[in-house]
Amino acid sequence: MKKKTVFIIILISLILIIGLPIAIDWLIIGNGFPSNIENSDWVSFFGGYIGALIGAIVSLVGIIITIRYTNEQNKKDRELQVRPYCAIRYVHDNKLVGTNKIIAELPIGCEPKENNGPEYTSIVYIKNIGLGPAVEFDFDMDEIKDGRTHYPILMQRNADTSNRTVNLLQPGEEAAFPIHIYFNFDKITEDDFIDFGEPGLFRYSVKHEVMQKYKNFDIVIHMKYHDMFKNTYYQKIILSSNIYVSGQMDKKQADYLCDINLKEITTPVKV
């Protein structure tokens, strides 16, 4: 029963408790109508009647509250028996290991599109370690803030990929969420080096402004899914980037590289 209904019952009870004695005094004790019994008998009768009425109302409210509490506890117990719980692991690889299921993919490109360079691929694995199935997965991503414009890349799906795509994880099942990032770093030229003049392994060094040209960034992924009762659960996955320069310091040769690592995973929260 809703809180509004319980409030109405309590309000009516208070009105009756306060209003009945006033009504009895006005209609019976204080009137001049003839009666076969004395006023004291009427007071005694209505006293017992009102006491029984108040006791019945109090019992009714108690029963309603008990039933409501029991129903809520039963609902929570049923939800716990089918509640999913997704565990996350992250792997620097482009090959699926341990599962052939794909639950989603995240391909990201950097402007300008025509300069897209090598693809960096890593995989987030999502495993349901809960007691019930996780269904209807939905993923969203915050804007990447590294000073550049990014855009989603449309992945070409083939029959094999489509057959492995799932949107439900039974207890114990795991699926992959590949992350594809297409970088378009500018080429590091000979003018970007400092020459110390002495032959050796560390003769050349990349200029500081060249090394700091690209900012590190976070990839913030919002994941939602449902249980059998259509309850929604939310988790946040944060991947952090580390962009650096690597090359041979005895030659004027270096390139920009990037490592992506798992930074944070939040526990499932019912929303």
**CA–CA distances in Å: residue 230 to residues 128, 222, 251, 263, 271:** 16, 18, 61, 30, 11
pLDDT of residue 81: 83
Give the strand pairing for 193-195 and 204-206: antiparallel
| Sequence spans of domains, the chain | 3-81, 86-270
d(CA 93, CA 123): 6
Mean pLDDT of the chain: 83
Claim: this prediction has a pTM higher than 0.75? no
What would the pLDDT profile of 162-204 be if each residue is shown by its tens digit? 678 899 999 999 999 999 888 888 889 999 999 888 877 778 8
- Percent of the chain with pLDDT strictly greater than 70: 82
**Which residues share a beta bridge with 87?**
127
Residue located via tokens 């041979």: 248
d(CA 56, CA 1): 18
Of 19-33, 61-75, 99-113, 118-132, which has the strongest mean pLDDT? 118-132
